[in-house]
Structures are given as structure tokens and as C-alpha cells.
Amino acid sequence: MTRVLIADDNRLVRDMLKRHLTTEPGIEVVEAEDGARAVELVRASPPDVILMDLVMPGMDGLEAIRRIREDPRNAGIPIIFLSSETDRAKWVEAFEAGANDFVQKPYERRELQARMGTHLKLAALTRELRMKNALLEREQYLAGHVQSQLLPRKLDFAGLEISSVYQAQEQIGGDFYDAWEDGDIVNIVMADISGHGASAALLMAVCKGLLYSLSKARLSPAGMVAEMNRMLYAMLDGGDLDMFVTLAFAAVDRAADTLRFLSAGHSPAYLLGESVIPLGPTGPGLGFHREFTWETLTMPFLPGQTIFLLTDGVVELRAPDGEFFGEKRLTALLSKDLPPRELIGTVIDKALPFCKGRITDDLAMLAVRRVGQP
């Protein structure tokens, strides 16, 4: 049943409108003799469409439209004003107040019915779109919650102090990190899925699962990355899907005080000691080549040193004028003397004001400091 509110101080006009409208099945009409009564009826039970006269005693149609639109719940009700007013400035006022359409008095019956039908269809489509958007937002919220559970909740390994941060551009994203223990070795991974949103989040979950499975095989970092690459190459149709994964892999050997590092096309990591040493890619990203062997760098990793891993969303933060935060600003903030939590906090304190809080990509940071054995 379509409920139509007719607001007009002329009873004859109301009767004529009611008679014309109710010739169509499924139409229910309620009447208001002035703007104040129309507002009351809308507040009590919002109609599907409103036919509003502009000139009425007491509260006129313009004020009634404004009052109705004050309530956000009434934003989607089509309001068509009917008037013999020839002053176009009044028409503009009505549209500015929130009216959707205008029909000149005396009206032509078929024109009025056609305009009502059009606006009712638009209102129905708008309601459907809002429902779908609400459902999508709910799904994104749930997906974001599930995704957050995929990140390690506790990074607690003997001989290491670790801190991390992750922020998706949307509710779900494609950056992720992971860490797991294998005897004296702690394996740490920072990864970035191309793009962001649902597709990146889905591929992120797949990569997380692959890492978990491959960690059981106790492969070397290079062996694990090569096997991940083969699986992703097949899954992503050899790059035809225009998706890929970059990844930095650090394996800390606490017994030997060494670090093995490789990077599959990932943003530079930084080894913090007496100086800041960037650790760039040792091979391409994953998913581009069916077979590839990534070079592994081995270096001392002694108590007091820190390795800082991140995704490109950090250095690619932009100021309002378009300038990138950049690697130069980042490296100026990096110091082995800062504990991991303070180190990440220092970067955040400088980066967020620089970009005015506007994040244009997913971003993640992870700092791992070598400490003496307990």
C-alpha cells in the first residue's frame, strides 16, 4: 500500500487529488489542512510521498518542508510541491528547503501520476541501495574483525623485544606481518598485497595460510619464499590477474647472533646499529615468475641492534600539497637507542601530522630489537 500525504488548505483541492489518486489500486491518502498538521502526520507515521501546497495559513509549505527534512529519517520521502505560484524564486526556495519536484496548478492528472510514480521508484531504489550499503558495511566490519585475528596477537620471544602497528586504509586491507619460533630461530615476515580492499584482504588470508603450512616443513627462508611464489604464480594466473605480493623475510638466529634476510620486491627494511643500513630487495615480488631463487643476506644481529620492517604505505603518506613522507624523513627518525614501541611511536608522531591524518594506503610497521638472553 502506497501512503500519500496531501497538504493543502483548500478542501476542494484535497478532495479532487484524493479522488484522482485513489482511482489507482493500492493508494491510501491522508490529509493535512496546513503545514503544521502535515509535519505532525509525518512525525507520527512517515508517508511514502508528500504532495505539498506552498501557500497555506499558519505554517506554509516552505516551512513545513524544512521541518520535515530536519529529521534525517525523512530524508528519503519524495516531496512534490503543487502551486500556482509564478515567482520562480519561490520554486528555488522550495527546492533548497528539500522538495524533490514541482507541478504547476492547475495540474494535469496524468503528469502528476507520472511524476509520483518516478519519485516512488527512485525512493524505493534509494532504500534498496542504503540497505545494501548497510549490509556491505556490516560485512566489511566482520571481515576486518576476522582479519585482525589473523595477525599475531602476541609477539613474545626470548631474546627479542618486538612492537608492531597495522592500519588498513579501509576496514580491511592487504598488509600483514607474522612471526613464529623454530628452535633458536625466530622467523619474521612483513608482506604487502597489491591494491587494498576485499581482493587484497582475501589474498592476504591465503598468504597467511600458505606461511602457516610451509612453516611446518622447516624450510630455509629462501626455500619457503620460493615455494610460496610457485603457489601464488599458479593462483594468480602468472600475473594475468594484475595482483602480486611483496615480502620481507628476516630469520633471527638467537644462538648464533645472526640475521638472515631476503626481500621479494618489498620496501626497504632497516638494520639499526651504529648506523642505519637499508636492506633492499634481493629479488622480485611473488607471482611474477614461475621459478626464482631469492638471494639471502646473512649478517650479525647482536644485542642492542634493531631491524625495522614496514610496508610502502608509510613512506608514501602524502602531505596536502602531494609531497611524500619519503625514506629520507623516515630514516632520520630511526635509532637503535629507541625501544621498538618508542621507535614506532616516533614515526607515527611525525608521519600522521605530516599527512594530516589522511591515510591513502594500508600501512604496517614492525620493529625487532635483539636483547640479551634472559
Q: Are residues 177 and 59 in the same domain?
A: no
Are residue 224 and residue 334 in the same domain, yes or no? yes
The distance from CA 346 to its chain's CA centroid, rounded to whole angstroms, is 25
- Same domain, yes or no: 155 and 267: yes
Tell me if 115 is assigned to some domain. yes
Position 138 scores a pLDDT of 67
- Tell me how many domains the chain contains: 2
Residues 241 and 182 in one domain: yes
Express each pLDDT in 310-348 by its tens digit. Answer: 999 899 999 999 999 999 999 999 998 999 999 999 999
Q: Indicate the pTM of the whole model.
A: 0.66
Structural domain boundaries enclosing 8: 2-132
d(CA 370, CA 254): 8
Which of 246, 324, 309 lies closest to 279, judged by CA? 309
DSSP letter for each residue of 128-193 = HHHHHHHHHHHHHHHHHHHHHHHS-S----TTEEEEEEEE-SSSS-SEEEEEEEETTEEEEEEEEE
The cell for 225 is: 619464499
Same structural domain, 195 and 121: no
H or E element at residue 270: strand 269-272
- Does 143 fall in a domain? no
For residues 293 and 178, membership in a common domain is answered with yes
Q: Is residue 289 part of a domain?
A: yes
Q: Are residues 186 and 122 in the same domain?
A: no
Same domain for 168 and 89 = no
Residue 288 to residue 230: CA distance in whole angstroms = 10
Of 105, 132, 159, the residue at which a domain comes to its end is 132
Same structural domain for residues 219 and 354? Answer: yes
Supply the pLDDT for residue 170: 63
- Return d(Cα 313, Cα 175) in angstroms, integer: 9
Residues 156 and 216 in one domain: yes
Q: Are residues 322 and 195 in the same domain?
A: yes
Spell out the residues 6+ positions from residue 241 whose beta carbon is closer than 8 angstroms to its own. none
Beta bridge partners of 307: 271, 368
pLDDT in tens, 267-305: 999 999 999 999 999 999 998 888 999 999 999 999 999
Question: Has residue 144 been placed in a domain?
Answer: no
Task: Report how far residue 323's alpha carbon sits from residue 338's, in angstroms, rounded to the nearest whole number.
Answer: 27
CATH of the domain at 22: 3.40.50.2300
Residue 142 is assigned to a structural domain of this protein:
no
Give the CATH number, domain containing residue 182: 3.60.40.10
